[in-house]
Structure 1
């Protein structure tokens, strides 16, 4: 099978499509033929890692896990002898988190992991774009104790995490202010934000408005810089330095919200698998709207 191998740390061109052996399937696993995956900012951080501390975690000279990719959608082609939740032919989506491995034509996953039947209302491309932004947004909004009636500002509302956070905060009943650039104002409104701030025209930290929760979904602000925009008991949370672990419960919640129309993944661009290095380059520019998808098979 073909896989995108991160051969060493460096620019997007270090990602090379190579032929590797098919994964084995244990008794409690399923073999999935991928139809779509995504390239996330996390994939780019691992691939381009320049800091020694990060290399101590991911691998000194090259990533220990050379097949990147954290979320996927595909069809089950084989089931292990003890598998009961799934059958051959099931269309599924999954979140790998830091286990990675989704940038390949096939992957074997444990049936009791963060793996679920794909929402029927979504294409494989859309289903592949649910998990990273959705579970990350859920993790940090919960950390900020989001609830009905509070005012929430989401900085970086146009990215995969930010666009998910806008929709989820609205689902939880918050009054949502979204911060984004001029070119994204109109479509961010369609996500359900109550108010939009164009950061090229207004600095939310100096506007005089205060919020119960500020969620920096791009890691470009700080608690000290945002203090003037917080209420007396307001909270500031940031994706910077944080990590949301994959879990089945969140995946199933996001599936339910998709099926009820409360949540929809946003796709900026799709790239064929053979152009995955180009997808890395595009994501690395830092201007994508929502998610960047890789299409396979």
Structure 2
């Protein structure tokens, strides 16, 4: 099969399309013919080892010390089941699915294996593969963080980095929960973030949200520049700071900060769950969740996709078209195509 492979750490040019063996599903695995994936900030960090301060050694242990341990990147897939292991009961060949591979990677290839009890669910009937895959990385990550708080109607939520893959998902999911949502992004992305449900948008290029007197029940930091030391005073009693991106100091001090302040501070994404993906699918099929994608690249243009993501100014997701195919016919699909931006994730 064809796959985007990187054999050393470095810039976008290290990723090239090669022929590699097709994976063989184990007894509990589902083999997916991949039609679409995304090139995410996680792929950028894995390829370049450009990680938050203090995490370089841990990243090396996970990704590989001298060369990549997993040579095919891609944390998410949308495609069709082509084979299943002997113990698989939930899926059958021909099923259209989306799945989160997580730290196993492997999505930037024509085939990928996923455990049937992993984060995998039926693809939205209202979306193409390229639209559906945008639900996965940002959506399941935002959902996993928000699962850790009691998000009730009327709660106040601030999403820092509201135009990235995780940020756009956090805005939509918080709004679906009945929260009053404030998004922080550039002024150029104000209309898009507002369309996703934000009640208020702060342009970080002209205003510093930490200088305001406004307080929040939940702050979701998708950028990495809002540690507890900077925003703790903006949290209401019993509030939560969800650190989607944090340096080593922020990760290590999170439990201590929680005990000391009485506010939840966490840098842990927890567990990726199929139920969370299924919720996203339900929201998308009912028109209550939008796919947000900025650009789509063919697998053969993988290096260009990485160059674009490296710039750090994308909106939503950058989609990677791995194989030709549109999936089910769209019926009122909610998709927000974009052309430029400054998101993270």
Which TM-score bucket, shorter chain as reference? over 0.9
CA shift at 1:23, angstroms?
Answer: 1.3
Q: How does 1:125-164 map to 2 (within 5 A)?
A: 125-164=130-169
What does the per-residue CA deviation read over 1:235-258, in whole Å, with 9 as the maximum and x for residues that have no partner? 322112434332212111211221
Matched with 2:307 is: 281
CA shift at 1:209, angstroms?
Answer: 1.6
Matched with 2:103 is: 98
Matched, 1:117 2:143: no
Coordinate RMSD, CA, aligned = 1.6
Matched with 1:266 is: 292
CA–CA distance in structure 2, aligned partners of residues 84 and 52 of structure 1: 40
Matched, 1:181 2:207: no
Matched, 1:227 2:253: no
Structure 1's 29 and 130: CA in aligned 2 closer, same or farther, altered over 3 A?
A: same
Counterpart pick for 2:77 among 72, 80, 99: 72
Counterpart pick for 1:58 among 46, 59, 63: 63
What does the per-residue CA deviation read over 1:121-147, in whole Å, with 9 as the maximum and x for residues that have no partner? 111011111111111111222334322
Q: How many residues are paired up?
A: 297
Instruction: Say which is worse superposed, 156-165 or 58-67, in terms of deviation.
Output: 58-67
CA–CA distance in structure 2, aligned partners of residues 207 and 105 of structure 1: 49
Structure 1's 16 and 178: CA in aligned 2 closer, same or farther, altered over 3 A?
A: same
Contact map agreement 1:7 1:16 (CA 8 A) in 2: no
Matched with 1:215 is: 220
Matched with 1:248 is: 274
Contact map agreement 2:144 2:272 (CA 8 A) in 1: no
* Structure 2: tracts of 5 or more residues without a match: 51-55, 247-266, 324-345
Instruction: Say which is worse superposed, 119-128 or 160-169, in terms of deviation.
Output: 119-128
Contact map agreement 1:72 1:129 (CA 8 A) in 2: no
CA–CA distance in structure 1, aligned partners of residues 25 and 62 of structure 2: 27
Matched with 1:6 is: 6
Matched with 2:17 is: 17
Structure 1's 190 and 2: CA in aligned 2 closer, same or farther, altered over 3 A?
A: same
Contact map agreement 2:101 2:114 (CA 8 A) in 1: no
CA shift at 1:232, angstroms?
Answer: 4.2
What does the per-residue CA deviation read over 1:35-68, in whole Å, with 9 as the maximum and x for residues that have no partner? 1001110111111116333112211011211111
Instruction: Say which is worse superposed, 121-130 or 155-164, in terms of deviation.
Output: 121-130
CA–CA distance in structure 2, aligned partners of residues 195 and 296 of structure 1: 37
Contact map agreement 1:144 1:237 (CA 8 A) in 2: no
TM-score normalized with structure 2 length: 0.82
CA shift at 1:115, angstroms?
Answer: 1.4
TM-score normalized with structure 1 length: 0.95
Contact map agreement 1:39 1:280 (CA 8 A) in 2: yes
Instruction: Say which is worse superposed, 109-118 or 241-250, in terms of deviation.
Output: 241-250
